Amino acid sequence: MTRAPRPFRLFLLALCLALTGASVAAEPAPPTATVEKLHATLLEMMKEGASLGYAGRVERVGPVLDDTFNFETIGRVVTGRHWKTLAAEKRKAFLDTFRKLSTATYADNFSSFDGEAFKTLGEEIKKGASLVRTQIVKSDGGTVSLNYVLNKTGEEWRIVNVIADGVSDLALKRSEYGAVIGKDGIDALIAKLEAKIASYAANNK
């Protein structure tokens, strides 16, 4: 059998490697990777909390929340039946404010380090949704259960709910936000969230 010229064989080898690499690159990261990306940033932020300051922590965590949370899905759920009736500009205003509040909350809550660690316990995937079970391990050995519900957005897993010691953040916000919108409207809810953001900034001066 006549062998292909060496340059052609090298070309075929390079093509095979490129195709293999593309296949590997296209494989989506598991849900656990999304959660651990968030945890790694939170741990860094806690360790550097004093030197970063509140504004620095906001700047540090904001882009990571954008990469790991599905804010549009969360916004749709927490506003409940009211979402469909909101004009596009009101939806955007709410989502922008909600994202800022989420960032401010993390910057306030994860501001210092006392030997804590995050521990991943496992993940379950079923019908396009995932549950990632984790713990915060305190320096005294005590633990706080911290579980995440994720959905698949395109080829990426994004967080849509955080369940701390069995309490669903999504359920709490849906109840609270729905009540405010139903009584006073979306503008009142946005104003309430903006006031909360301002209080975080004031308390961290």
Q: Are strands 167-168 and 129-137 parallel, antiparallel or unpaired?
A: unpaired
d(CA 178, CA 149): 21
3-state helix, strand, coil split of the chain in percent (to 5) is 60, 20, 15
Q: Alpha helices, DSSP H only, in 69-168? A: 71-78, 88-109
List, for residues 170-197, the tens digit of each pLDDT value.
999 999 999 999 999 999 999 999 999 9
Query: Whole domain around residue 73: which residue ranges?
Result: 31-203
Q: 92: which residues sit within 8 A by CB, 6+ positions away?
A: none
Q: What is the mean pLDDT of the chain?
A: 90
Tell me, yes or no, whether 19 lies in a domain.
no
Domain count, the chain: 1
Tokens matching residue 47: 């360790």
Which CATH number is 45's domain given?
3.10.450.710
pLDDT greater than 80 at residue 7: no
Tell me, yes or no, whether 14 lies in a domain.
no
pLDDT greater than 80 at residue 8: no
Could you tell me the pTM of the whole model? 0.85
Tell me, yes or no, whether 175 lies in a domain.
yes
What backbone phi and psi angles, to 5 degrees, belong to 147?
-110, 150
What average pLDDT does range 13-32 have in this prediction? 61
Tell me, yes or no, whether 80 lies in a domain.
yes
Residue pair 75/92 in contact by the 8 Å Cβ criterion = no
Tell me, yes or no, whether 2 lies in a domain.
no
What average pLDDT does range 146-160 have in this prediction? 94
Tell me, yes or no, whether 131 lies in a domain.
yes
Tell me, yes or no, whether 7 lies in a domain.
no
Kindly indicate the confidence band of residue 11, based on its pLDDT and cuts at 50, 70 and 90: very low
Tokens matching residue 94: 């709410």
